[in-house]
Structure 1
Amino acid sequence: MFCRPRPNMMAPIVHPTKHCQNNTFSESVVPHIHPTHVNNVNHHKFNHVHYYPQTQSQSNQVSHQNFNAPGPYPGQVAGAQMGPGQMGPDPGQVAGAQTGQFPNQMFPGQVGGAQEGPGSGKGYRKK
């Protein structure tokens, strides 16, 4: 056997220990509950609109007033009575005057066909 000489070895130098840190991370979920309630309120407003329709009408009022004018009327014989009871029983009646069949049909003393007033009576014609 053959032996080899060993190299000259010195005593080892020991250095301080280097500290290394490995970090590992993990996550955890912690639920925090904050309750909320939403109340949906529907609002409805009624607008009451009042209308006042109006109508209009028109009317015409007419009045008539008759007057007995003094003096002879057209178609009346002079001296004939103007109305019943104004001059007594049949004064001024002329020959041929008629009194009519019914009371107030003709004035006594008035000639048949004579007018009772302006614009009225038989035989009146507008011109």
Structure 2
Amino acid sequence: MAGGYPTAVSPAQYGPTQALPSQVAPAQVSPTQQYVNTNVSNTVIPVVHPSHTTTVNKHVNTYKHYFPHTQSVVNECYTQNFICGRPKHHHCCPPGHFGY
């Protein structure tokens, strides 16, 4: 011992590791992602293509992620007019109304 101080350091002694209870942190909220769904109504001819889905149910406990979602609806209406041929009697219309 030089000058009253120890010259060597003993290795640290470790006790058993203790697990503390889990804590829940405040929720972290990501910016809202915007989605647009467009609906178009048409008349179609059905063509059947059969398929099969097998559902496999698995249970896994891990993390909980939350994705709050809102939605809105926009209704659009379009009008189409077709003149298919020349009317037989167009005396109700001014001359040149149909371009001929």
- TM-score over 0.5 for the alignment? no
Bigger relative contact order (CA 8 A; separation at least 6): 1
User: Based on CA coordinates, which of the two structures has the bigger radius of gyration?
Assistant: 1
TM-score, normalising length from structure 1?
0.22
